[in-house]
Amino acid sequence: MPSPRPATLALPREQVLSALHRRHAGLVRAVFYWLGVDLERLDDAVLRTFMLAARQGRLPADARTRPWLGHLAWRIACRGADSHARPRDSFADAHGDSSSDSHSGSRNFSAADSHDSSRNFSAADSHPRGHAIAVPHLPPAADVLARFLVVHAAEPRTRAAFVLAELTGVDAVELAIALQTDAATVRADLTRLRRALAGDPEVHALGGPRSLLAASVAPFVGDHAWRRRNAALLAARLPAPRPGLRDLLRQPTGVIGLGLAAIVLLALLRPSAPAPTPRPARPTPAVAAPTPAPAPAIVPPPPVPPDMSPAPAPVRKLARVRKPGRSAAREALAQREKLAQARDPGAIIVELEMIGAGRKALARSPGQALAYADQHAKEYPDSQLTAQRAELRVRALCALGRRDEARAEAERRGPGKVRDALREACGP
């Protein structure tokens, strides 16, 4: 039987073995049990299967793990059968009569032993007592499966094809290669056995073939104490794994060695500094000694006669001449400043606000409106808004009943808006 193609991801051997044993050790034990391996060799066969799996080096894909382990279990079972000289009594010895020694001798898979496989047995004899090998307590479904195999799969190779196909999922082609027969024969045997199992009344009473097979395997899969003991035995048989780089780095000696190696490597790879090139010595020019300059001759100044000292110059007094028309220029400048202040845009805005405030107060308080007009005339006598101020004044006087003063103000302004305001406010 060819081995299934392993997964692409390679794992360390101890991780492969731990994962395989934790998930499938109970199933492999059940496969050996239902193949008919002698109970004294049952645990050893499980250990040999996983030791063989450890030598494979890589974990197969999840969908192919069970068929792969079934293939390895069949190889171990065949080796164990060939290594024993005395043949087993029958597959039914495990479920045979309690008066006979059900676990004596080897339980191989030769066809010559098939004549003893038709022995009858009862459910009470399915668990031999007083034997040193501990077997999990099997339910009544295991007795039904054992009787079915004795009656319908008496020939060892037929029984092996049924167990490997139903418990591990090995296909017919791989079974034909392993059993050295053709695939058509294997398919015909499996079809016959599956139909017989589905039509068995006892199997139907237990819930059908799937329930029967699951109940027959469950005691082996659920025996966690046995799995832990078997895992300890497997770890003792396997050689100690070589320490990896991570394990070496966890040790003080490994850290020190790695540090020394790094220092040596850096020292070897570091480029050496080039030797400095000697510079040629520059010739020192000869410096001539400076020649001292001759000291200048000191000539004494001639004496100044006392009668030749300069006389002081007379001081001239400048008369300040006043230009004619200076006062007229000052008056013209003052006039221009006054005109500029009168035409100031900022002042115009203030005037408009003052006239507007008087117009707003005219309806409710004519006296206040007249006060606004008088204040404007006092602050801005030369304003450009004299006509607006006169109009406001006339309307306020008419509102106060002072018609004569309003007419006099309108007469001074002449015809225009002021007289129109007089007619509107005081009447004709």
Segment 266-275, tens digit of pLDDT:
888 877 655 5
CA distance 394 to 409: 7
Place of tokens 């290669």: 177
Q: How far is CA 146 from CA 107, 122, 149, in A?
A: 15, 10, 5
Q: Residue 71: what pLDDT?
A: 86
Mean pLDDT of 42-63: 78
**Whether the predicted pLDDT of 193 surpasses 90:** yes
CA distance 66 to 6: 12
Q: Residue 218: what pLDDT?
A: 93
Q: How far is CA 14 from CA 57, 310, 405, 418, in A?
A: 9, 128, 127, 120
Contact (Cβ atoms closer than 8 angstroms) between residue 109 and residue 35? yes
**Whether the predicted pLDDT of 362 surpasses 70:** yes
Task: Find which of 227-236, 264-273, 409-418 is predicted with most confidence, using mean pLDDT.
Answer: 227-236
Contact (Cβ atoms closer than 8 angstroms) between residue 112 and residue 85? no
**Mean of all residue pLDDT scores within the chain:** 74
The number of residues making up the chain comes to: 428
Domain ranges (residues) in the chain:
13-237, 339-426
The model scores a pTM over 0.85: no
